[in-house]
Amino acid sequence: MATYEDFKKKAKEALDTIADVSMEAYRAAEEKAKILARRAKLNTEITREKAAIRRTKIRIGDAYYELHKDSPEDSLKQYCDDISTSLELIAAKQRELEELKSGYAVFDEDAQDFEPESEPDPEPDPEPDPEPDPEPEASNEDSNDF
């Protein structure tokens, strides 16, 4: 039959074993956390460097285009032509925007495009805008759609 001292000794051994296992688990978790943090930091640094490369490539492309847009190498001619075409389209759309902002444009429904007017209207429309219809009151059913 086991005595109180034997029970006490076995309990102490069990607690020591649990403490050792817990300490090992803590150290392993700590090491894993350090590794994960380092991996996250390295991934962030890699992403940052890739972004720097992309920005530099864009600057190289911009510089090449500006230097060689009129006489690019054959392998890059199509790219330069595409950029020039896009720049021309952008300029045309910006002119159209300016015309619309200035109020000197009318909509040609047949052409589905805006055409500049020859002259602006000298005076604004003398008739005031009609009062908008009052909005119908919302019912409780409509307000609970969420």
- Determine, yes or no, domain membership for 124: no
**CA–CA gap between residue 36 and residue 123 (Å, rounded):** 70
- Determine, yes or no, domain membership for 130: no
Contacts of 30 (CB under 8 A, 6+ apart): none
Is the CB of residue 115 less than 8 Å from the CB of residue 105? yes
**CA–CA gap between residue 91 and residue 84 (Å, rounded):** 11
Model pLDDT, residue 143: 43
- Determine, yes or no, domain membership for 20: yes
Model pLDDT, residue 5: 85
Model pLDDT, residue 74: 95
Both tokens assigned to 105: 């444009």
Helix (H, G, I), strand (E, B) or coil at 115: strand
Sequential pLDDT tens for the chain (146 residues): 568 888 888 889 999 899 999 999 999 999 999 999 999 999 999 999 999 999 999 999 999 999 999 999 999 999 999 999 999 999 999 999 998 888 766 665 555 555 555 554 544 444 544 454 544 444 444 444 43
Number of domains in the chain: 1
Model pLDDT, residue 7: 85
Model pLDDT, residue 138: 45
**Any idea what DSSP says for residue 108?**
E
Is the CB of residue 114 less than 8 Å from the CB of residue 108? yes
- Determine, yes or no, domain membership for 31: yes
- Determine, yes or no, domain membership for 87: yes
Instruction: Domain of residue 36: give its range.
Output: 1-91
H/E run at residue 111: none
Model pLDDT, residue 102: 85
